Structure 1
Amino acid sequence: MITTATARSFGRIDEATAAQVADLWNAAYPTMRAILTGRIDSYRTQIRDEAWIVDPSRPNADVLQAYAPSEAKVRRGLKRMEELRRDLGQLDRGTYRACTRSPGGFDLTSAYWAVRYVLNASSNSTRDLASVYHLAAVLSRISDAQAREWASAQPQSA
């Protein structure tokens, strides 16, 4: 659960925007965590069941094999979802480090990208996505404003 102070730890945002981000994050975080936990459980089930192996004696085995995921793809997917869930937890605790040299905190741009990746991992049947989409929209607006500010601060070349 983040606070207004946590939301302001990296970004240059005003108090009202930080309060809005904190409220939206706290509303959306349980849904995002549930989405990732569901995906992780799904990947672990595929690994347990060895979903990439299709019995050749089954009817339409060649078709099934064409659509079966490879073992490497399943393991990569599991690793990505576990890393994303870890990053979300660190953002939620205010201990996220965008790189090894940065101090821990809540990075708005990293939060925006993490929320986008969560939305990519969700499906149309996922419930309570409105709060996640609303958070993504607000983080997108903040990220765009910061990018424009940083670009205007750069010296223009002739």
Structure 2
Amino acid sequence: MLTTATVRHHGHTDEPTAAHITNLWNAAYPTMRTIATARIDAYRRQLHDRVWDIDPTHPHADVLRAYTPTEPALRRRLKNTEELRRTLGQLDRGTHRACTQSPGGFNIHSAYTAVRALLNATGLNDHGLADIYRLAAALAEAAEERHRELAARTA
């Protein structure tokens, strides 16, 4: 579970913003993890069932082939979603490293990137998206504020 202290660890976020992001994160994280896990399970099922193998005698084989992902595409999606779920978990625990040179912690920009990637993978049947969209908005505002601070320093 994310804490305000974890969000503030790097010192770039004020207390009210950190508390707001923490509350939104803790409300949205279980849903984000559920969505990512459901996607991973679906990709694994598709790989197990070899969905790209379409009976050539099927009357709509050409249409089915046009809308069926290939094995490499499914493997890529599976890998990307597994990495996304891992990143979300690391952010939740405060152990995420944005790059190999950075210390572990919660990073506003990394969190915003991960939440946006998760939203790109959602569909109309996913529930609980309102909390995730609220979190994305708060992270976007915090990221914008940080960009303004950095721009003011260099000006």
How high is the TM-score relative to the length of structure 1? 0.95
Spell out, residue by residue over 1:29-66, the C-alpha distance to the aligned partner (whole angstroms, 9 max, x if none). Answer: 00000110011011001100111111101111111111
Tell whether the 8 Å contact from 1:9 to 1:107 is kept in structure 2 after alignment.
Answer: no
1:57 maps onto 2:62 in alignment: no
CA-to-aligned-CA distance 1:7-47 (integer Å, 9 cap, x gap): 11235111111111111100000000011001101100110
Q: What's the % identity of the aligned pairs?
A: 57
The CA deviation at 1:154 is: 1.8
Per the TM alignment, residue 68 of structure 1 is displaced from its structure 2 partner at its CA by: 1.2
Q: Which residue of 1 aligns with 2:3?
A: 3
Compared with structure 1, are the counterparts of its residues 11 and 60 closer, same or farther at alpha carbon in structure 2 (3 Å cutoff)?
A: farther
Q: Is the 8 A contact 1:27 1:131 kept in 2?
A: yes
Pairs within 5 Å for 1:134-149: 134-149=134-149
| Corresponding residue SS for 1:138 | helix
The CA distance in 2 between the partners of 1:67 and 1:104, in whole Å, is 41
Partner of 1:41: 41
Aligned to 1:77: 77
> Counterparts of 2:65 and 2:130 in 1: how far apart (Å)?
36
Equivalent pair of 1:4/1:18 in contact (CA under 8 Å): yes
Q: Which residue of 2 aligns with 1:121?
A: 121
RMSD (Å), alpha carbons:
1.0
4+ residue stretches of structure 1 with deviation over 6 A? none
